[in-house]
């Protein structure tokens, strides 16, 4: 699963791009609170680059930046909330939400966690490292992920998956620095964000096929919730 759980076959879902745009708009609004100029706002620059890579319409992008920076006169109040707990079969999970109404989101999360177990703050976060997560793909066949990680200043890396995407892990404060350095090492950055990497992931091979399906269904149900931005599951492989 890597550092961040992702729903299988999301690329074939009819509403996948709409959901992705919705999440990115929230990220842009939050990032733009610290300034509307991407050149002077590292967090905004990273999200804007990600939005452009998935072909977000220019007017949607600019509107989100202006809204976050308070230039439209609209009051936008998104709160960052993390829910911790367990998926079925004691797989630890951290769910990152951006919500404009915690009083709505909290009970809905409790309902979604009924097939698992919702924990209190700190109940599973101790079993995760807070890291910068960069997804990138090689621009040429000679690019070496291990060499790139060392040269760019990443703490660690995960080899390319079946789609050719490598994951570089950084100290949270080095996320922007490493993102800027990777292109010179032959890698195109697809996304860069802060997140959580499990310290002791559950080995999928230790679960039956039925149990693994239950975990996947639980995570997929969480991912469908409009307030959920990212899901970090302690599941290996």
CATH number at residue 41: 1.10.10.200
Residue 2 placed within a domain:
no
192 and 132 in a common domain: yes
110 and 142 in a common domain: no
- Reported pTM: 0.83
Residue 1 placed within a domain:
no
Q: Kindly give, in sequence order, each residue whose CB lies less than 8 Å from that of residue 67, ignoring residues fewer than 6 positions away.
A: 29, 32, 74, 76
162 and 53 in a common domain: no
Residue 73 placed within a domain:
no
Task: Output the six-digit token pair for 58.
Answer: 């220019």
- The domain total for the chain is 3
204 and 114 in a common domain: yes
pLDDT score recorded for residue 147: 95
Residue 5 placed within a domain:
no
207 and 185 in a common domain: no
Question: Rg of the chain's alpha carbons, rounded to an integer?
Answer: 18
Q: What is the pLDDT of residues 72-126, one digit of tens each?
A: 887 778 889 999 999 999 999 999 999 999 999 999 999 999 999 999 999 999 9
228/192 Cα distance (integer angstroms): 18
CA distances from 145 to 51, 142, 175, 179, 197 (A): 24, 10, 16, 13, 19
Q: Are 17 and 7 in contact (CB under 8 A)?
A: no
**Could you count the other beta carbons within 10 Å of the beta carbon of residue 124?**
21
Residue 4 placed within a domain:
no
Which regions of 75-155 does DSSP assign to beta strands (E)?
79-87, 91-99, 117-118, 128-138
Residue 74 placed within a domain:
no
111 and 135 in a common domain: no
CATH code of the domain containing 203: 3.30.70.980
224 and 165 in a common domain: no
pLDDT score recorded for residue 76: 76
Note down the domain range covering 182.
128-197
223 and 116 in a common domain: yes
151 and 106 in a common domain: no
150 and 52 in a common domain: no
144 and 97 in a common domain: no
Question: For the chain, which residues score pLDDT lower than 70?
Answer: 1-3, 5, 7-16
Residue 224 placed within a domain:
yes
**Strands across the sheet with 156-158, in order?**
156-158, 165-170, 128-138, 187-198
Residue 142 placed within a domain:
yes
| Residue where a domain terminates, one of 68, 87, 115 | 68
212 and 190 in a common domain: no
């Amino acid at each position: 699963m890597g550092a961040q759980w992702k729903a299988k076959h999301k690329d074939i879902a009819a509403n996948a791009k709409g959901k992705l745009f919705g999440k990115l708009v929230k990220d842009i609004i939050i990032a733009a609170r610290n300034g509307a100029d991407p050149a002077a706002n590292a967090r905004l620059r990273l999200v804007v680059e990600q939005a452009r890579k998935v072909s977000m319409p220019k007017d949607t992008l600019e509107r989100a930046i202006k809204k976050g920076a308070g230039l439209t006169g609209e009051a936008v109040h998104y709160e960052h909330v993390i829910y911790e707990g367990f998926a079925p079969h004691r797989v630890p999970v951290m769910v990152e939400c951006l919500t404009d109404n915690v009083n709505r989101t909290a009970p809905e999360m409790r309902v979604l966690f009924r097939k698992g177990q919702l924990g209190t703050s700190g109940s599973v976060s101790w079993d995760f490292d807070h890291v910068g997560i960069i997804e990138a793909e090689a621009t040429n066949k000679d690019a070496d992920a291990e060499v790139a990680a060392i040269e760019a200043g990443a703490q660690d890396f995960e080899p390319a998956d079946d789609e050719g995407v490598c994951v570089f892990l950084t100290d949270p404060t080095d996320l922007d620095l490493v993102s800027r350095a990777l292109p010179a090492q032959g890698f195109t950055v697809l996304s860069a964000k802060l997140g959580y990497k499990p310290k002791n992931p559950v080995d999928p091979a230790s679960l039956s096929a039925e149990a693994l399906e239950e975990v996947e269904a639980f995570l997929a149900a969480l991912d469908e919730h409009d307030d959920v931005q990212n899901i970090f599951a302690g599941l290996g492989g």
